Structure 1
Amino acid sequence: MITGQAKESFERIFRKAAQARLPLQSSDTCEIVPIAEAGTGATRDTQVVVLTISSIVFRLLLILHFDENDSARNYFLKDAADQSFQEAFLEICNLCCGAMNQELLHYFPDLGMSTPYVLSARCLSYLQELKPDFLSSYSITIDGSVQLAATVCVCADAPIDFMADMSAIEETSGELELF
C-alpha cells in the first residue's frame, strides 16, 4: 500500500530529522547506516523510546534504541547536570520525532504525535504483528562514540504515494507546538 517513492521519502525524512536533532551540536557527526534486519543489535539491557505520528491514512512508529552506558550518559548529559539521562534523552527523541512530524505536515495535513515512552527492546520482535507496510532499521553513531539504533515502522490504512522535497532546509529551534 506504500509506493517505493513514499518509502524512500519516509527514509529521507527520518535521516534529515535524525541528523538535525540527535546530535547536541551542529559540529557533531551523525552517521546513519541501514541495518539488514529490523530490530537487530539489541543487548539484554537495551531499551527503546517509542514515538508515534498518526494520520488518517497511516501510523508511523519512530523507535530509538539505546543503552544507558557511559558514552551515552556523557554525551547527552554534558550540559544538563540537573536532569536524569532518561529525561534528557526523551527530550532529544521528541525533537527528532517533531522534526519528522513537521516535514510530514507538508504532505499530510492532519497529524498527531504521541509523547515518548520507554520500553524494553524485547518488544521489537512483535513489530511484525502490526503488519507494517514499511519497516526499516538503522545504526546511528554520534560523534564517533555514541551508539544508537532506530527503527521506522509505517502501517498504512490507505494507499500512500508522495515524494518528499528535501531540497529546502528549514532551521527551527525545537519550539513547542500547541494543538
Structure 2
Amino acid sequence: MIVKARKDAPENSQIRSQIFDYWDCFQGVLIEKGNRATPSQICIAFLTSVRELTQKLLLVKHKVFSFAGGKAAEANTMPDLNTFNYQTGEQLGLLKVFYRNEDEILLGANTKRINLRISLFLEEVQTEPQRSLSFTTTVVYNDFFGRIIFFLIKPLHKILARYLLKSMIEKIQHLGIPNN
C-alpha cells in the first residue's frame, strides 16, 4: 500500500480554512468492498490505530524503565469508541471533534504550547470502489516553547502520520466496515 505526501490539503477540506504555522498532508487509496466507510468509522480506525501504537510505545518505555530499575506508569484507557456519535463538540479522550460532514472529520486539541488539528478526509476518485483518504495535520504555535517542542518531534510526527494512515486503511480494508 502506498501512502504519499500531498502538496496541499484536499480542495473541499474544512482544514484549508484554518490558520496554521505548520501543516502536512498524507494520502492513501482506500479500496472499499461492500459498505462505504463513514467519517465516524474512519475516526474509529484512526483512534484504534493510535491506541495500538501507543501501547507498543508504552511497552518499549516500560521495558526501558524496567531495565533501568524504574517503574513505568500504567497507560490511560480510552473509552469505548462505539459509544460516541462523532459529532461537533464531542470530546474523545484528548481530542475534540471540531467539524464533521459526510466526507470529513476534523479532530484537535488546544494546549498551552500548541493547537493541533487533524483532518481525516474521504475523497472520490475516478475508479470505483476506490476513494482516497487524506490525513492532514496543522499546528499553531502558541509560544516559543511550542515551536521548539514541535521542531523536535516533527521528524517523528511525519513517520507516525504515515504509519497511522496506512494502519487505518488496512483496518478498513481487511476487517471490513460494520453496518451502522
TM-score above 0.5: no
Q: TM-score, normalised on structure 2? A: 0.33
Of structures 1 and 2, the larger Rg is shown by 2
User: Which structure ranks higher in relative contact order (CA pairs < 8 Å, sequence separation ≥ 6)?
Assistant: 1
TM (norm. structure 1) is: 0.34
